[in-house]
Chains A and B, each alone.
Chain A
Amino acid sequence: EAEVAQSPRYKITEKSQAVAFWCDPISGHATLYWYRQILGQGPELLVQFQDESVVDDSQLPKDRFSAERLKGVDSTLKIQPAELGDSAMYLCASSLDGLAGVSSYNEQFFGPGTRLTVL
């Protein structure tokens, strides 16, 4: 069964260091999402790609976060420098198509996430 792959599963870093997370979506999925989930809260969208283009990064803290999907397949999310408040689960998801039709839903399939701890 096709799955969204993420690595690493766990990352511990010190504040002011740089960290990077990798995501490989389900083959053929045009849309890729990065979410951040803080403990006790629901996932919050950071950035959404349609193929290699960013279609929504309104909640991405662009002073320290960056994301790319150069060939429209896998993606990397980077944080530099990391801060204590960045400790969270970072989830990647993909869907066939990101367009929101009426009465339809292009299911988002989530990866297992990367648990980031900033010390």
Chain B
Amino acid sequence: DQQVKQNSPSLSVQEGRISILNCDYTNSMFDYFLWYKKYPAEGPTFLISISSIKDKNEDGRFTVFLNKSAKHLSLHIVPSQPGDSAVYFCAARKSGGYQKVTFGTGTKLQVIP
């Protein structure tokens, strides 16, 4: 039962353009959402997060949008840079108790110079 889904395994974008990575979730109890970035031979690193009380969170070139009614979130990267090429994981958790984070399957982003 995949509670966090990333339906696009890969995405290619030209440098300077916008990258949009999508994520869907099924568990309505999730109230905090995260994006992690992973380079080969390294562990994932935290990128940006959003609470369910918001619908948008921005950090520099990265913006995460949350649509609770659709159980959908997206990560926008503008402008995309070659160094952004990595695997991006969407993740989610619910509040209360010890936080167990549920990860999606990842989307491999390639930014073409």
> A interface vs B, CB < 8 Å?
4, 31, 40-45, 48, 50, 55-56, 91, 93, 98-103, 105-113
Most chain A CB within a 10 A radius of its CB, from B41, B101, B106: B101
Interface size grouping (class) on chain B: 20 to 34
Closest 4 CB pairs of A and B: A110-B43, A42-B103, A100-B99, A103-B51
Q: Which of B43, B49, B94 contacts A100 (CB 8 A)?
A: B94
Point out the residues of chain A lying under 8 angstroms from B44, CB to CB. Answer: 43, 91, 110
Could you tell me if B41 and A112 are in contact, using CB atoms closer than 8 angstroms? yes
CB within 8 Å of A: which of B1-57? 4, 9, 31-32, 34, 41-46, 49, 51, 53
Q: Please report whether the interface of chain B is mostly helix, strand, loop or mixed according to DSSP.
A: loop
B32 touches A103 (CB 8 A): yes
Residues of A within 8 A of B4 (CB): 42
Smallest CB-CB separation from B43: which chain A residue? A110
A contact residues around B32 at 8 Å (CB):
100, 103, 105
When distances are taken between beta carbons in the complex, the residues of chain A under 8 Å from B41 are 112
CB pair A42–B89 under 8 Å, yes or no, is yes
CB distance from A51 to the nearest CB of B (A): 12
